[in-house]
Amino acid sequence: MQLSAEHFCQRVVDETEAAIETIILSYLGRTIWHGDHAVPFLNRRDNALFSVQFSLKLPIIGIGAAARCFLPGVARRLGTTVSFPEYYEVGNAIGAALIGLDPA
């Protein structure tokens, strides 16, 4: 990639924040529009023809060891705030992932 270590690390952070942003928007889009109809649109917010930016009307709550590394940037990207509850670093990542699953 011919990047310095610093630039490579920043690129990893940027890509991770973008992925988290897309996951949040896709999840919330499914709750509003039911199903996957909006997901292709939400996943292609910036292209050669247009750019779309979303702002959340909800705060982000961070849990897990890496939350403080990535979620402040995600919150900035989504125009919202992020908070970290006490002991967020040891939040149960599996439990957090299961919260968004439909009991189908």
Query: How far, in Å, CA of 104 to CA of 85, rounded?
Result: 30
Note the pLDDT tens digit of each residue in 30-53: 888 877 776 676 766 777 887 888
Whole-prediction pTM value? Answer: 0.75
- pLDDT tens for residues 48-86? 887 888 889 999 999 888 999 999 999 999 999 999 999
**What is the domain partition of the chain in residue ranges?**
5-99
Please list, in sequence order, all residues whose beta carbon lies within 8 angstroms of the beta carbon of residue 64, skipping any fewer than 6 positions away: 88, 89, 91, 93, 96
